Amino acid sequence: MIEPMIAPSILSADFARLADAADSVERADWLHVDVMDYHFVPNLTIGLPVVRSLHAATDLPLDCHLMIEDPDRWAPAYAEAGAANVTFHIEAAKDPVATARAIRAAGALAGLSIKPATELDPYLDVLREFDTLLVMTVEPGFGGQEFMAEVLPKVRRAREEVRSGHLRLFIEVDGGIDADTIEAAAAAGADVFVAGSAVFSADDPGAAVEALRARARRAMPG
C-alpha cells in the first residue's frame, strides 16, 4: 500500500507571511513552491532568495516546481538552496538527463513535469533518471483553475510503468486538486497531491491537509 503525500502549494498563501503558511500545514509531507518567470508562464512569483529563506524557516521538505525557461541553467541552484525535490518542465529543457543528474548531485530529488497537452510516452526512458513525475492537471501559471480529468490516462500509464518495474518514481498531480477531484487522481495512480486553494482558502489549512490525505488513501488502489 502506497501512502499518499500532500503538498500544499504556497501560491495560494499570503506571500507576506510564508513562514506562517508553512507552520499552518506542518503535518503536510512536502511544501510545494511554484517558481514562475513571466516567460514559460504568464505569471511571476518567487526565486532562489525566497526558497533559501523558506528552507531556513520550516522543517517541511520543499518541493520546487520550476515553471521557467532554461531550467538546465537554473534548476541545480534550487537543490543547493535546500529544496528536497526540484521539478522542471520537459517543454523548456534542452538536456533533461544532464539536468536531473546535476540536481541529484546537488542533493535533491529530480522531477520532470509535463503540461496537459504534452504526451508521456516519448519520455518513459528519460524518466528512469528521475525521482518524480509531475503531471499537470491544469495549464501551469495560476492557482484556482479547474481540474482536467482528461490527463488522468497519463497518470495511469505512469503507474503501470512503476508497477512493472520500468520506472521508480513519485507520481505527482498539480492543479485543481480538492476534496472532490483527489479521489479520481488517487484511483488513477497518483501518490503526491499538490493543493493550493483547497488548502490555503480553508479556515483550517492543517485540517484541510488531513481531509485530503484521508480521501486519497480511501481511493488509492490497494
Q: Which of 29, 174, 178, 191 is catalytic?
A: 174
**34 in catalytic set:** yes
Question: How many residues belong to the site for Zn ion (CB under 5 A)?
Answer: 3
State which residue, 1 or 174, has the beta carbon closest to Zn ion.
174
Residue 5: beta bridge partners? 192
| Helices (H) then strands (E): counts for the chain | 8, 8
Active site residue 174: yes
Strand-strand pairing, 62-67 and 192-195: unpaired
By CB under 5 A, what part of segment 115-154 binds Zn ion? none
**Region from 26-34, 71-79, 95-103, 211-219 binding Zn ion, contact rule CB under 5 A:** 26-34
Backbone angles phi, psi at 44, to 5 degrees: -130, 130
| Contact partner, 195, from ligand DX5, Zn ion, none, Cβ < 5-8 Å per class | ligand DX5
Confirm or reject binding of residue 34 to Zn ion (CB under 5 A).
yes
* Residue whose C-alpha is closest to residue 116's, from 145, 89, 138, 144: 138
User: Apex CA 24: angle with CA 21 and CA 30, to 5°?
Assistant: 80
Site for ligand DX5, rule CB under 6 A? 9, 11-12, 32, 34, 65, 138, 140-145, 174-177, 194-198
Report the residue number, 79 or 193, with the smaller CB distance to Zn ion: 193
d(CA 176, CA 190): 14
Residue closer to ligand DX5, measured from CB, 6 or 161: 6
Question: For 15, left (φ over 0), alpha (ψ -120 to 50), or beta?
Answer: alpha
- Specify the residue, 85 or 161, whose C-beta has the smaller distance to ligand DX5: 85
Catalytic residues, by residue number, are 34, 174
Positions touching Zn ion (CB under 5 A) are 34, 65, 174
